[in-house]
Amino acid sequence: MRGMELNFLSAMLIVIAALSITFIIGQFFLFGKNIETFAVKQDIYVLGNALEYGKIVADASFGYSFSQGCFDSLGKGGYNAPPLAHNGLVLWYDSGDKTPTKDEFLLELGKEIAAILNKYTAEPYQYLSALEVSIPKDYNIMFKETYSLEATATSPSFISVEKESSNQKVKLLKKSTLARAFPLNCLELFESQQKRGRQLGWGMEQAVAGEVNKWKKSGSEETAYKELFAEAGGNEVMGGPIFKELHVRAMEQAEKEIKTSLEASAVGLLPGKDGVYTITTEIVELSVDIQPVCKAERHTDDKDKATVSCDFVYDILFVMKAIVEDGREESKLPVFNGESVAFTAPRLVFGARIGKGVGSSISSLKLDGTFFFDIVLEDPQLSESGYPITLHMDGDSLAWEIPYQGATYSGTGTFELGEVRLDKVPVVIEGRTYFLSFLGTVGEKDIVGQVAGVSEKNVPVKGTFTTKSSLS
């Protein structure tokens, strides 16, 4: 019996020992799992904070990018990549109005801001010296104008952060869209000055026309034939004496006089103040070169004599720059202004260029006579070729008249700074009457522009037009 009791007791001890070991091992594994779960939760918490930090960095970068983008874009005439420039000066006028539209300005401003923002976010940011937060570097910017300029930066990528250890990898993502409302100052500065390029260029063009038209463009003289080729120089040798005979001065002296006159005409082409804005102008480049183009006809009855005839081309390059500054304290932007980072007044910079060789008088651009309009409507797609509109210019007043339904229909328009506006002109296109308003730029030989109006049923229409006739 005693042996059986000992065996039973031994068996019980073995069972108790086995249970004890099982409990201890179970507690060990359970405790280890708790440690692992706690570590993952802690990582997610830290990574979540890193994502929030990334969003704060991206938003702050967006704000600064807008300020710098506004400053830089205005400094380039409202462009990210200017299509037309003279030695870096963006041209708003070059033998015609080249000013960007409001939509083009906002598109270019968005490109400028996106380029700066994506430069800021190109490299990951460090969070707590251990985690790298990646922010998209492919943002695009869109605008909506309300009481402010609402800007949205979007990207197909996410703000992301990840942590990897020997037995786990955790990665978190966050939507990267940024949205902020900015003051309208940048847009208002551009919009308020949109006509200044045309005003400056038109004034310069009229100054050049007025000056060139003072001088004779051709002349001739009889000379000894052998003298024509006695020395090098060709046109200069033949043309110099003829020009002096015409103007009682050498070509070099005439060039200086024309240049001096144009320098004087540049003063006051734009006002010095426009509300809260200050406007300054300067001549960037001005050159005058009179080029004679001559030919000699040897006399048939006297081989030793010839008649030299010369046309004089007045080759003038006239470039001016305008700077419009918003000096209000509330408009100043925290930007790098080329010298340092400081609160700086935004400045709109643009230029105008007149560059042409003039062999005969520049047209005075008087709008008198019948012009034949080629009109193309977008929707519906209709067109009319050679529609006659007669224009009469009397001082600053512009009147128009057309034949309409067996009678003459007339109205008034405006002509200012090279721009013609005619309102509510009845035009018959493919048997339908449309009441159209014309807004066009006057060139040397034609008028080109936009039309907008309504049909007889008051349906809005728009399109383009050109004229065929030359201005008298």
In terms of residue numbers, what domain contains 429? 369-467
| Domain stop point among 323, 358, 393 | 358
In the chain, the number of structural domains is: 3
Two tokens, residue 151: 């800007």
Radius of gyration over alpha carbons of the chain, in Å? 38
Q: Quick one: 409 and 452 in the same domain?
A: yes
Sign of the C-alpha dihedral, residues 177, 178, 179, 183?
Answer: negative
Is 27 inside any structural domain? no
Beta bridge partners of 245: none
Q: Are residues 251 and 233 in the same domain?
A: yes
In this structure, are 335 and 389 located in the same domain?
A: no
53 in the same domain as 201: no
Whether 25 maps to a domain, the answer reads: no
Q: Are residues 238 and 117 in the same domain?
A: no
* pLDDT at res. 444: 66
Q: What is the pLDDT of residues 137-176, one digit of tens each?
A: 999 999 999 999 999 999 999 999 988 876 778 888 889 9
Tens digits of per-residue pLDDT, 437-454? Answer: 999 887 767 888 999 999
Residue 89 pairs with which residues in a beta bridge? 86
> Domain for residue 275, yes or no?
yes
Task: Please calculate the CA angle 53-54-60 and round it to the nearest 5 degrees.
Answer: 90
- Kindly report the CATH number assigned to the domain that includes residue 425: 2.40.128
- Looking at the structure, tell me whether residues 45 and 128 fall in a common domain: yes
Q: Say yes or no: 344 and 216 in one domain.
A: yes
Q: Is the pLDDT confidence value at 20 over 60?
A: no
Q: Which of 13-27, 30-44, 315-329, 414-428 has the highest mean pLDDT?
A: 315-329
Q: What does the pLDDT read at residue 362? A: 53
- Are residues 209 and 353 located together in one domain of the fold? yes
HEC secondary structure over the chain: CHHHHHHHHHHHHHHHHHHHHHHHHHHHHHHHHHHHHHHHHHHHHHHHHHHHHHHHHHHHHHHHHHHHHHHHHHHCCCCCCCCCEECCEEEEEECCECCCCHHHHHHHHHHHHHHHHHHHCCCCEEECCCEEEECCCCCEEEEEECCCEEEEEECCCCEEEEEECCCCEEEEEECCCEEEEECCHHHHHHHHCCCHHHHHHHHHHHHHHHHHCCCCCEEEEEEEHHHHHCCCCCHHHHHHHHHHHHHCCCHHHHHHHHHHHHHHHCCCCCCCEECCEEEEEEEEEEEEEEEEEEEEEECCCCCCEEEEEEEEEEEEEEEEEEEEEECCHHHCEEEECCCCEEEECCEEEEEEEEEEEECCCCCCCCCCEEEEEEEEECCCCEEEEEEEEEEEEECCEEEEEEEECCEEEEEEEEEECCEEEEEEEEEEECCEEEEEEEEEEECCCCEEEEEEEEECCCCEEEEEEEECCCCC
CA 63, 64, 67, 68 torsion-angle sign: negative
Q: Scan for tokens 């493919």, then name that residue.
A: 430
Most confident of the ranges 64-68, 129-133, 239-243: 64-68
Query: Is pLDDT of 127 > 70?
Result: yes
- Decide if pLDDT at 240 tops 90: no
For tokens 């930066």, the residue is 153
- Dihedral sign computed on CA atoms, order 93, 271, 322, 285: positive
Mean predicted lDDT score pLDDT of the chain: 84
Q: Do 354 and 211 share a structural domain? A: yes
Residue 243 lies in a domain: yes
If asked whether residues 422 and 319 sit together in one domain, one would say no
Q: Which among 143, 161, 188 is the end of a domain?
A: 188
How much of the chain, in percent, has pLDDT values that exceed 70? 85
- Per residue in 388-424, pLDDT (tens digit) is 999 988 766 789 999 887 888 899 898 877 788 999 9
- Per-residue pLDDT for 11 more than 60? no
Residues 347, 439, single domain; the answer is: no
Q: Is residue 32 part of a domain?
A: no
pLDDT at 40: 54
Residue 426 belongs to some domain of the structure: yes
Of 148, 166, 188, which marks where a domain is finished? 188
Highest mean pLDDT among 29-43, 67-81, 371-385, 430-444: 67-81
Indicate whether 184 and 200 sit together in one domain. no
Mean pLDDT of 243-271: 91
pLDDT tens for 336-379 read 988 999 999 999 999 999 986 655 445 555 678 899 999 999 87
In a domain, 327, yes or no: yes
Decide if 321 is inside a domain: yes
